[in-house]
Homo-oligomer: A and B are copies of this chain.
């Protein structure tokens, strides 16, 4: 029951964050292709952030499915995660509107990093409260990705000063790492069932 409300509230916040990001795609005044040009980087960062929020929603979904009990610590760890995710529209907008300038691109990585740390804290809290069988349920193929992602962000943040494109390539790479193998595991699970 408690898990349900935690899920519902998180879903609500995630749904709103995803949709509010699209407001940065401001309707242009012109009506030709040239009017859409300056929107392209905003659109691309929107796609990237949409992917990240989709990945977080997916993982959050699996995390709470493995959790039977909810403590105050879990509630606050969850709010902490939602806090950093709520900064996605700001970080996305700043990076997109400034066509991947150095500092906005680095800040985007900082928000990604903080969200990854917050997710890790939430996962640890859930395992601590729910015990080892929950830890087992969560260990399937996700652990190395959870550990590798912050390293990518940590590399991407200072590299934005050298070239924002390297940082962006790293952000995209992490998103793909999470996207691709999930499907492979899934297919194996479906084949086993």
CB A43 to nearest CB in B, in angstroms, measures: 9
A102 close to B72 (CB less than 8 A): no
> Across the two chains, which residue of chain B brings its CB closest to A182?
B72
A89 contact set on B, CB distance < 8 A:
22-23
A22 close to B75 (CB less than 8 A): no
B79 close to A54 (CB less than 8 A): yes
CB A38 to nearest CB in B, in angstroms, measures: 14
* A15 and B13 contact, Cβ closer than 8 Å, known pairs A27-B93, A103-B33, A186-B72: yes
The count of chain A contact residues (Cβ–Cβ below 8 Å) is 58
Q: Tell yes or no: A152 within 8 A of B by CB.
A: no
Question: Which one, B15, B65, B73, B104, contacts A9 given CB within 8 A?
Answer: B15
Q: Tell yes or no: A57 within 8 A of B by CB.
A: yes
For the complex with contacts A24-B27, A73-B186, 19 further pairs of A-B residues with Cβ separation under 8 Å are A8-B11, A12-B14, A13-B15, A13-B18, A15-B15, A15-B16, A18-B86, A19-B86, A20-B20, A27-B93, A27-B97, A31-B94, A31-B98, A31-B101, A50-B83, A54-B76, A58-B72, A72-B186, A73-B183
Residues of A within 8 A of B (CB): 2, 5, 7-9, 11-20, 22-25, 27-28, 31-33, 47, 50, 54, 57-58, 61, 65, 71-73, 75-76, 79, 82-83, 86-87, 89-90, 93-94, 97-98, 101-104, 129, 179, 182-183, 185-186, 190
Could you give 15 example pairs across A and B, Cβ below 8 Å? A8-B8, A8-B11, A9-B57, A11-B12, A12-B12, A12-B15, A12-B16, A16-B20, A19-B86, A22-B87, A31-B94, A54-B76, A58-B75, A58-B76, A72-B186
